[in-house]
Amino acid sequence: MKKIIYIFILLILIIAGCNSNSSIDNGNVIARVHDNYLYESDLEGIVPTNASATDSLMIVKNYINNWVRQTLLIHHAEANLPADQRDFDRQLKEYRNSLIMYQYESMLIQQELDTLISDDEIEAYFNDNLVNFELKENILKADYVKFFKDSPYGDQVRSLFTRYRNDELALDSLMFYCENYAIDSDISTDRWILFDDLIRIIPIQTFNRERYLQENTLDTFDDELYTYMINIVEYSIKDGTSPLSYEKENIRQMILNKRKIELINKMQTNIFDNALTNQDVEIY
């Protein structure tokens, strides 16, 4: 039934949109812009099989209108551009060559790149390039909890938060309370975060962030609605050397990128040297 509707829609469009030139070829011309023709066959596949009759008509009409507008614009641009600015043969050839090289290099990397990087290699790269690992922002590892100030479980959470680091049972209990009653929390984490990102979660009030990090390990404060608790496990101050654990994944990517470049350069050199050896290249 949908196919019948679709054909009926096309017939309406053909009758409405074709002029005397529609009899050329097989008579299935839908629209014309100067010497460019849109045929019924060009519309195949544009209407989803589950589209209603109304939606099908809208899709076809929009497609035709877009084709007319685009074709008119291209015709106008070609008519007004100087001939030398309408010749894209060189650019197209260069673009094609670039695509071919990109595809081949991607295949080569996928097949031959050694992606195994040891921790020793990462540490050696870090130590050899310390000057490149200067911190631009304060970072820290911290656990925090945010809960309603009038929570009936507030005292339990406060007590557990002061001893969970050295008490596995206290940690399990704190995790339970946080999962069920906290507004937000991150406990027993080992990931670095920016101090600025933490402040967006825990509204620490300080005019000297570096001093705050240096002087606070455990901090608790309230506002009108919430109680906030934060335990600073580790920190690094900006302008100092970034911790290796913070840069580990960045270094891994740097090493991989270096290997990719070396692999591609080796491939290019081998191809060039082999061509010279086989006399496949002559420079006159």
Cα dist from 63 to 45, 46, 69, whole Å: 12, 8, 10
Residue type present at position 79: A
Position 214 in a domain: yes
Range of 25's domain? 2-82
Position 280 in a domain: no
Residue 160 predicted with pLDDT over 80 = yes
Are both 20 and 67 inside the same structural domain? yes
Confidence band for 262, pLDDT divided at 50, 70 and 90:
very high
CATH number at residue 217: 3.10.50
pLDDT at 20: 43
pLDDT at 127: 96
Position 88 in a domain: no
Are both 64 and 9 inside the same structural domain? yes
Residue type present at position 97: N
Are both 28 and 39 inside the same structural domain? yes
Are both 109 and 70 inside the same structural domain? no
pLDDT at 8: 52
Residue 180 predicted with pLDDT over 80 = yes
Position 9 in a domain: yes
Mean pLDDT taken over the chain? 87
Position 6 in a domain: yes
Task: Please list the residues that pair with 229 across neighbouring strands.
Answer: 145, 220
pLDDT at 119: 95
Are both 146 and 164 inside the same structural domain? yes
Q: Please count the structural domains in the chain.
A: 3
Residue 4 predicted with pLDDT over 50 = no
Position 284 in a domain: no
95-154 pLDDT, tens digit each? 999 999 999 999 999 999 999 999 999 999 999 999 999 999 999 999 999 999 999 999
pLDDT at 88: 82
Are both 176 and 41 inside the same structural domain? no
Are both 141 and 225 inside the same structural domain? yes
Are both 129 and 259 inside the same structural domain? yes
DSSP letter at 134?
Answer: B
Are both 112 and 156 inside the same structural domain? no
Are both 149 and 183 inside the same structural domain? yes
Position 212 in a domain: yes
Position 199 in a domain: yes
- Look at residues 1, 19, 22, 5 and name the one whose alpha carbon lies nearest to residue 58: 5
- Sorted by sequence, the CB contacts under 8 Å of residue 189 that are 6+ apart come out as 141, 142, 143
